[in-house]
Amino acid sequence: MGERTATVAAEVGLHARPAATFVQTAMKAPMDITVARSTGGDPVNGKSILQIMALDVRKGEQIVIRAEGEGSEEILDKLAAIASTP
């Protein structure tokens, strides 16, 4: 299973537009993708904007993105880049 840790850089955190971009990119991947706070808690579906927004991740906080399967490394890199973009 691939994994990336990313620090959320957007002023609004992983909410609204950054969350929509994240989910739209995740939806293009054929595998399951999960996202969790690096401090713990249950992972959520990375393809659900409601679940991503419910994490209430703020600027400067870290998330852990996980995916497994062919192409997972590439999609994880893309998702980590989205989360880390201000």
- Beta strands 2-7; 33-37: pairing state: unpaired
CA–CA gap between residue 81 and residue 86 (Å, rounded) = 10
61 is catalytic: no
Q: Given 15, 36, 65, 82, which residue is catalytic?
A: 15
CA-CA distance, 80 to 86, in Å (whole number)? 12
Picking from 44, 32, 75, the residue whose alpha carbon sits closest to that of residue 14 is 44
CA dihedral over 39, 22, 74, 30, signed as positive or negative: positive
Catalytic annotation, residues = 15
